[in-house]
Structure 1
Amino acid sequence: MGLNSPGKRGRGMRGRSRGTPMSEINVTPFVDVMLVLLIIFMVTAPLLTSGVPLDLPETNAKPLDQPQKPPVQISIRSADELFIDDKPVTMAELPAKLTAIAAVQDARNPQAIMVRGDRSVDYGFVMRVMGELNAAGLNRVSLVTTGSANEN
């Protein structure tokens, strides 16, 4: 067989020799892993919204539309356990913290506050917290509950 024979030319031009590195990358496994990670994050993201475990009361009210910027969450676990965005706060510190939050808010788009109170907390204590919110100038307050209550 000579140099111009079809067997030699086909193998030499199109085939790879043993010593040359592969110049292509297979991205299919990478895409598969990324899709699995995306699904995992999509499933776990809603579970990470609040860090303070509470036994919220139930209601028949419809949920409100969420504002553009995330609301500040005030969680009331008991009369001596208050949290602002998962950070513990005492009742004595609450007015100063709320005044600082109110000072940062925009006049046209006021800061939204979500109050989450455990069902075992005294209603009077929840009203004290609501009064502190009002005194600080935070008037866009929502009370958070779970699903719908069973009608009797």
Structure 2
Amino acid sequence: MQSARSRMKSRAKAEINVVPYIDVMLVLLVIFIATAPVVMQGVTVDLPKAQAETMNQDQQTPIIATVDKAGQFFVSIDSNAVKMDNLDSLTAYVSEQLQKDPSRPVVVQGDAQVAYNNVIMLMNALKNGGVKSVGLVTDPIE
């Protein structure tokens, strides 16, 4: 009888300990929550205020060419902002994106404090890059 009890005590249990897996999942969740704002980045500009028509919601997400207060140029496509070194690289990048999808709208977003010349240079560069029409982004007047 003693040997039957010792055999029962030495038998391995077929259980999975899930506590370490829960710990790992919680750590991953915290990492994703902490890095999500970094992934969803954009360019902050203080837009001029004007009464304007809103874009048609049925259209695709536009390509946004931005010039900020410091005169730096950015291109945002589907919430991915890319800093451009100069207008030539911006024009090449936008042209490449329009070759993939020519029906995609292009808009210019200029900071209210930026020199007017920078916005005109950006619009001219887009025109030279083959963009047929360009919209301007503004904030609505309250």
Using structure 1 for the length normalisation, give the TM-score: 0.57
Give the AA of the match of 1:115. Answer: V
Shift of the alpha carbon at 1:30? 0.6
Offset from partner CA, 1:96-135 (integer Å, 9 cap, x none): 4455346533275256544221112344653343233223
Match of 2:129 in 1: 136
Match of 2:30 in 1: 36
Shift of the alpha carbon at 1:149? 2.9
Would the aligned equivalents of 1:115 and 1:142 in 2 still touch at CA under 8 Å? yes
Gapped regions of structure 1 (runs ≥ 5): 16-22
**Structure 1 vs Structure 2: percent identity of aligned residues?**
22
User: Residues 9 and 136 of structure 1: is their aligned pair in 2 closer, same or farther, counting only changes over 3 Å?
Assistant: closer
Match of 1:11 in 2: 9
Any idea what SS the aligned residue of 1:115 has?
Answer: strand
Would the aligned equivalents of 1:114 and 1:144 in 2 still touch at CA under 8 Å? yes
Does 1:56 pair with 2:50?
Answer: no
In structure 2, distance between residues paired with 1:107 and 1:12: 66
Match of 2:73 in 1: 83
Gapped regions of structure 2 (runs ≥ 5): 75-81
In structure 2, distance between residues paired with 1:102 and 1:121: 21
Shift of the alpha carbon at 1:72? 5.3
Query: Per residue, is there more helix in 1 or in 2?
Result: 2
Give the AA of the match of 2:22. Answer: T
**Higher radius of gyration, 1 or 2:** 1
Shift of the alpha carbon at 1:29? 0.2
Give the AA of the match of 1:109. Answer: P
Match of 1:149 in 2: 141
